[in-house]
């Protein structure tokens, strides 16, 4: 058996008829199966309160694979995959666990032996505690690994309460707190570029870098997620989770190895060094028209936009500002990290014409096909010296001739294999909630901004005299 083939497993997905399951989880499992990376024997049991039969669930999965499965759908093989899918309609909770427990028992009997269990909680954060308690009551935590979607808690108090509850039912090695940004090849490439190439690590510090930007604007609105979004908002949903995790990868010290404990230990040191946010460091916004969406309160103060300035108080990054921005219904969609370098002494080129590049910078594109672009100044052709912008770029598909593995595919496979390297750890999550605690307790005014804009003017002012690095600047 290949070292990449997991042990036989029964997979339980709570919220299996939801958007995440359709767009990400079921297509990811299907693609892993196509690539021979699923267990030899496996079953998927979907669970939700909705009245869904097995065939309806299989049709739902097929629609997801056809639309979001990157061309992996093969009608001639579909029945072979779909045979392993089933659905249980139940409100799974303490005192009402028998239907799902019986379905798991039947699936395990079909597989034979003592297969592992992988549980995915694709449900709102308030359900994590009750579902975990019900899993314990039903005896389904035995031989189980449990994946928790983000955010893990909604503030430090709720995180601590949830963490205590979960640890009362599961050993730490069974707990997989997912942040799909960590599964992106392009995020892992930051580590490769830094630590596998001698020229980059030497300049990856306050002596050479003026500031860092982590930018994740989105053109989409909240869709049908008002019930979730009204309880979270951009700061909780995106910044404390995705953007802080990416920041830890950018800012970490070299780990002794790329194994689980050394890697997570170095990320934790970054979190511990992050300065707690103050009101003057944060701009929150809400796009015009948000309150008109179904399920949104007429006087909602939920933030759909967040921009912040953050400092890391350690030797490497002392005095270097990190600017983070994310928002809904913005002018463009992008996921990028930009390192802007300090200007060199200007005496040599004083009076020389410069064509539009404020400072040289290195940009990692985390979305789409992923890649790296280095923008710099070079001499323009001609009899006199004038400087023009130039760039060098790397793209995965052009360089390696293959598609990136999708983040959920990587993380689901890691969970099936029992590899927690790219999952988050409780002490790190707890510290990130501490960083934003004062903002959550005393939030700044939520400012309106026009749809298809770059957010409130105050976010542009936050970064002055610098500017946000926009997608059009790389064209």
**Catalytic residue numbers, as ranges:** 242
Cα 318 to Cα 233: distance, rounded to the nearest angstrom:
30
Let me know the angle formed at the C-alpha of 193 by 176 and 365, rounded to the nearest 5 degrees. Answer: 75
Question: What's the number of CA atoms in the CB half-sphere (13 Å) around residue 191?
Answer: 22
Question: What's the number of CA atoms in the CB half-sphere (13 Å) around residue 402?
Answer: 5
CB of 399 within 8 A of CB of 410?
A: no
CB 169: neighbour CB atoms within 10 A?
Answer: 18
CA distances from 375 to 358, 398, 434 (A): 10, 19, 36
Cα 201 to Cα 254: distance, rounded to the nearest angstrom:
9
Cα 262 to Cα 242: distance, rounded to the nearest angstrom:
20
Cis peptide before 356 (omega within 30 of 0): no
CB of 44 within 8 A of CB of 76?
A: no
Angle between helices 260-273 and 244-251 (to 10 degrees): 100
Helical ranges in 274-332 per DSSP H: none
CA 214 distance to own-chain centroid: 13
* Backbone dihedral angles phi then psi of residue 295, each to the nearest 5 degrees: 90, 0
């Amino acid at each position: 058996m290949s070292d990449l083939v997991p042990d036989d497993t029964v997979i339980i997905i709570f919220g299996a008829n939801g958007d995440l399951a359709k767009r990400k989880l079921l297509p990811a499992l299907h693609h892993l199966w196509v690539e021979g990376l699923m267990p030899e024997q496996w079953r998927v049991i979907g669970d939700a309160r909705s009245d869904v039969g097995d065939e309806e669930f299989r049709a739902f999965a097929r629609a997801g694979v056809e639309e979001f499965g990157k061309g992996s759908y093969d009608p001639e093989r579909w029945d072979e995959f779909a045979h392993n899918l089933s659905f249980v309609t139940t409100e799974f909770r303490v005192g009402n666990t028998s239907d799902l427990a019986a379905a798991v028992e039947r699936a395990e009997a079909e597989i034979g032996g003592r297969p592992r269990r992988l549980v995915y909680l694709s449900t709102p954060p308030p359900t994590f505690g009750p579902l975990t308690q019900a899993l314990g009551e039903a005896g389904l935590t035995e031989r189980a690994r449990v994946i928790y979607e983000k955010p893990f808690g909604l503030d430090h108090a709720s995180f601590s309460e949830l963490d205590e509850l979960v640890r009362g039912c599961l050993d730490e090695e069974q707990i997989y707190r997912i942040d799909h940004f960590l599964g992106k090849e392009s995020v892992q490439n930051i580590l490769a570029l830094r630590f596998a190439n001698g020229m980059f690590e030497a300049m990856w510090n306050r002596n050479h870098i003026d500031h860092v930007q982590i930018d994740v604007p989105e053109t989409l609105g909240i869709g049908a997620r008002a019930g979730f979004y009204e309880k979270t908002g951009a700061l909780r949903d995106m910044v404390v989770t995705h953007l802080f995790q990416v920041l830890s990868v950018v800012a970490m010290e070299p780990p002794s190895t790329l194994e689980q404990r050394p890697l997570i230990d170095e990320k934790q040191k970054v979190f511990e060094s992050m300065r707690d946010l103050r009101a003057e460091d944060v701009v929150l916004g809400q796009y015009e028209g948000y309150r008109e969406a179904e399920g949104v309160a007429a006087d909602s103060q939920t933030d759909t936009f967040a921009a912040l300035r953050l400092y890391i108080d350690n030797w490497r990054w002392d005095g270097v500002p990190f600017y983070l921005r994310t928002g809904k219904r913005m002018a463009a969609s992008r996921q990028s990290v930009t390192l802007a370098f300090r200007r060199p002494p200007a005496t040599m080129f004083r009076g020389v014409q410069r064509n539009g590049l404020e400072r040289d910078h290195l940009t990692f594109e985390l979305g789409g096909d992923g890649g790296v672009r280095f923008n710099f100044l070079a001499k323009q052709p001609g009899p006199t010296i004038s400087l023009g912008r130039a760039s060098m770029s790397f793209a995965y598909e052009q360089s390696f001739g293959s598609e990136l593995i999708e983040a959920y595919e990587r993380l689901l496979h890691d969970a099936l294999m029992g590899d927690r390297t790219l999952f988050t750890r409780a002490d790190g999550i707890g510290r990130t909630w501490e960083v934003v605690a004062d903002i959550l307790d005393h939030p700044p005014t939520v400012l309106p901004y026009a749809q298809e804009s770059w957010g409130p003017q105050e976010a542009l002012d936050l970064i002055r005299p610098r500017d946000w690095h926009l997608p059009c600047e790389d064209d």
